[in-house]
Amino acid sequence: MNIPIRNTRDAYGLIAQFFHWLIVVGITLQYIWAWRADETDSIRLEYQLVVQHKSIGMTVLLLAVLRIAWRLFNRPPALPDGMSGWQRFAAAFTHWALYGLILCMPISGWIYSSAAGYGAEFYGLLDIPDLVGTSEGLEDVFHDVHELLGTALLVVAGVHVAAALQHHFIKKDDVLKRMLPKWN
């Protein structure tokens, strides 16, 4: 396997790929955990899943901050030459919308949890401080915000995946391959 640490003109480097795929795993777990918490009849399991959901969410937040910081210091590879202006705009818009949603999702959940008066811990190791005082009004608002952002993230991530697949299978360029390790 051959991946440079930093991004090159043609492909993402090891650090960017590491953050990208770890965030993908984290976000996927978050949706599965949220769905399981909604579905279960066991109050205890629901409680445990929500506690774990918060720890995973804080991990994603941390990774997203590092990912964005790394992106600012290490420019991503250039887009293929054949892309039109609106495609370039759509690509940039989708990426920054994704970053924004990935940051706002855990923060909205954090505010929701704080307003609800639940203490939160990071994998049982550290107490997560409350962002706001308890307030049923804020709890209701941020419950809805968290769900809305969750749906928006699902849509934007779907567009992102569809675009990557379209580049790979229809346009047959290297846009998807840039985010994959080269096994030769």
Partner 1 sequence: MELTTRLCIPALAWLLAAAPLAAETCYVGGADNGRLEFRGAVEGTGFTGTFGKFDVRYCMPEGAPVEGSIEVTVALGSADSDNRDRDEALLGPEFFAVERFPESTWTSTAIRSTDDGYTADGELTLRDITAAQSIAFQLTPDGEAIVAEGRFTMGGSAEIDRSRFDVGIGEFEDPEFVRNRVDVTFEVVLNAE
Which residue do the tokens 């809305």 mark? 148
Please identify, using beta-carbon distances, which residue of 50 and 66 lies nearer to partner 1: 50
Please identify, using beta-carbon distances, which residue of 134 and 166 lies nearer to partner 1: 134
For 12, phi then psi, to 5°, come to -75, 145
Site string for partner 1, 78-117 (x = CB under 8 A): --------------------------------------xx
Which residue do the tokens 């949220």 mark? 34
**Rounded CA gap, 184 and 178, in Å?**
14
The residue range among 79-87, 90-98, 132-140, 168-176 that interacts with partner 1, by the rule CB under 8 A, is 132-140
Tell me: does residue 42 bind partner 1 (CB under 8 A).
Answer: yes
Contact 178, 12 (CB under 8 A): yes
In the list 44, 82, 84, 125, the residue contacting partner 1 (rule: CB under 8 A) is: 44
Tell me: does residue 123 bind partner 1 (CB under 8 A).
Answer: no
Please identify, using beta-carbon distances, which residue of 42 and 84 lies nearer to partner 1: 42
Tell me: does residue 137 bind partner 1 (CB under 8 A).
Answer: no
Give the shortest CB-130-to-partner 1 separation in angstroms: 11
Nearest to 121 by CA among 48, 171, 35: 48
**Rounded CA gap, 3 and 16, in Å?**
11
Nearest to 50 by CA among 113, 140, 136: 113
Contact 60, 27 (CB under 8 A): yes
Residues that bind partner 1 (CB under 8 A): 42-44, 47-48, 51, 116-119, 121, 124, 134, 136, 139
